[in-house]
């Protein structure tokens, strides 16, 4: 394994600038590897150690999403004689992955922070879902990371089915890299390993049972993530219960996640605008600036949909995501008459 340094853990100019603003001689920095309620497992130049949040730090959090999550960088105080370090500050996140909290709350749930690449895993056999894939892409775009699509369990489908699924992805104007992989035959593992670079952080997301933990175990070379046997249908049984940052032999860092079928969005206007640029370009031609693209006269989006020049499911998903996001996205050229 590569030598453990702050740089090898993802330390960069983004955090160095913040460190200048909050420099104290007795404090050092570390990265959050996992969270267990109020106790953190941190990773620094000396390896792993545990820490707790200071009272002042807890008091300054404005919401639950401000609390440390996997991938965060923190300022800590710890002597060699102490069992636990004390966290005094959480650095501002360079990138993040978050979703709307489950239920009716408008709070965010942080999934991970300071991620370079988010790898969306969908099973070719039972889990392939273009609408869910688009939802992931919206949230990844909003948080500033780069997406990669990983189609797993290719051994359970024909080459024709796999080709059709990739074609559906491309027909939805999704141009992000697609890797097909099998945990059984190991086909595609070299392609996956080829994108994993030292000092960069990769977060695996997807529904329960699509094989994320098995993939991570394959990358690590041993069982660090508990898995269960696959059912007769080819669906794995989800066992991951918490997020954890793991350093691979080549120095890349990976984060596994509990399965997520529900991935609610909230306040993701930037992500929607990036993922649906084609529809929003049409929206700029609508008669009304605040057009909802449903019943208004002079709606360029609806007119194009009626001519079947936009995929109906893609349009429906755009409308749903925009509604969840909390406000109408205005495209600037409507007259607003």
H/E stretch holding 324: helix 312-325
Q: What is the pLDDT of residue 149?
A: 98
Other CB atoms within a 10 A radius of the CB of residue 41 amount to 17
pLDDT for 237 equals 43
**What is the C-alpha separation between 39 and 84, in angstroms, rounded?**
9
Other residues' Cβ atoms within 10 Å of the Cβ of residue 133? 22
Residues in the chain: 337
In a domain, 271, yes or no: no
Give the H or E element holding residue 282: helix 277-283
Same domain, 67 and 183: no
Q: CATH number of the domain that 287 lies in?
A: 1.10.40.50
The pLDDT, as a whole number, for residue 112 is 95
Q: SS3 for 88-105, per residue?
A: EEECCCCCEEEEECCCCC
Backbone phi, then psi, for 187, in 5-degree steps?
Answer: -65, 130
Look at residue 9 in the predicted model and tell me its pLDDT: 97
One domain for residues 246 and 222: yes
- The CATH code of the domain that includes 60 is 2.40.50.140
3-class state of residue 64 by DSSP = helix
Whether 234 and 148 share a structural domain: yes
Q: What is the CATH number of the domain that holds 180?
A: 3.40.50.300
Which whole-number Å values give the CA distances from 69 to 4, 33, 176, 258, 285, in the listed order? 21, 8, 26, 14, 42
Q: Return the pLDDT at 229.
A: 43
Domain that holds residue 44: 7-90
User: In whole angstroms, what is the distance from residue 290 CA to residue 297 CA?
Assistant: 12
The whole-model pTM stands at 0.75
Structure tokens at 208: 């329960």
pLDDT recorded at residue 51: 95
Q: What pLDDT does residue 148 have?
A: 98
Distances 189 to 49, 88, 275 between C-alpha atoms, Å: 32, 40, 28
Domain check: are 34 and 128 in the same one? Answer: no
- Which pLDDT score is estimated for 101? 63
Give the other-Cβ count within 10 Å of 124's Cβ. 24
The answer to whether residues 120 and 182 belong to one domain is yes
**Model pLDDT, residue 268:** 46
Q: In what order do the strands lie in the sheet with 178-180?
A: 178-180, 146-152, 117-123, 201-206, 253-256, 244-247
Point out the residues of the chain with pLDDT beneath 50: 227-241, 261, 264-268, 327-337
Helix H or strand E encompassing 34: strand 28-36
């Amino acid at each position: 394994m590569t030598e453990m340094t702050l740089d090898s853990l993802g330390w960069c100019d983004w955090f160095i600038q913040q460190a200048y603003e909050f420099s104290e001689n007795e404090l050092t920095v570390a990265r959050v590897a996992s969270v267990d309620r109020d106790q953190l497992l941190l990773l620094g130049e000396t390896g792993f150690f545990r820490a707790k949040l200071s009272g002042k730090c807890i008091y300054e959090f404005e919401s639950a999403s401000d609390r440390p999550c996997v991938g965060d960088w923190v300022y800590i105080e710890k002597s060699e004689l102490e069992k636990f370090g004390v966290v005094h500050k959480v650095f501002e996140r360079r990138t993040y992955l978050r979703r709307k909290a489950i239920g009716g709350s408008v709070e965010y749930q942080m999934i991970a922070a300071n991620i370079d690449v988010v790898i969306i895993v969908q099973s070719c056999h039972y889990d392939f879902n273009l609408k869910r894939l688009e939802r992931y892409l919206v949230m990844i775009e909003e948080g500033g990371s780069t997406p990669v699509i990983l189609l797993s369990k290719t051994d359970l489908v024909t080459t024709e089915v796999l080709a059709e699924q990739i074609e559906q992805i491309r027909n939805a104007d999704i141009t992000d890299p697609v890797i097909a992989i099998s945990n059984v035959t190991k086909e595609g593992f070299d392609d996956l390993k080829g994108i994993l670079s030292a000092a960069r952080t990769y977060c695996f997301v997807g529904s329960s049972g699509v094989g994320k933990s098995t993939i991570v175990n394959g990358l690590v070379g041993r069982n660090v993530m508990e898995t269960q046997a696959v059912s007769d249908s080819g669906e794995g049984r989800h066992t991951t219960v918490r997020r954890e940052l793991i350093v691979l032999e080549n120095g890349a860092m990976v984060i596994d996640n509990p399965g997520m079928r529900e991935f609610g969005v909230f306040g993701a206007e930037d992500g929607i605008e990036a993922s649906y640029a084609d529809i929003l370009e049409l929206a700029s031609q609508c008669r009304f600036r605040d057009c909802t693209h449903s019943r208004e006269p002079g709606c360029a989006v609806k007119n194009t949909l009626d001519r079947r020049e936009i995929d109906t499911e893609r349009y429906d998903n755009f409308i749903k995501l925009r509604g969840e996001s909390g406000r109408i996205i205005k495209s600037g050229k409507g007259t607003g008459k």
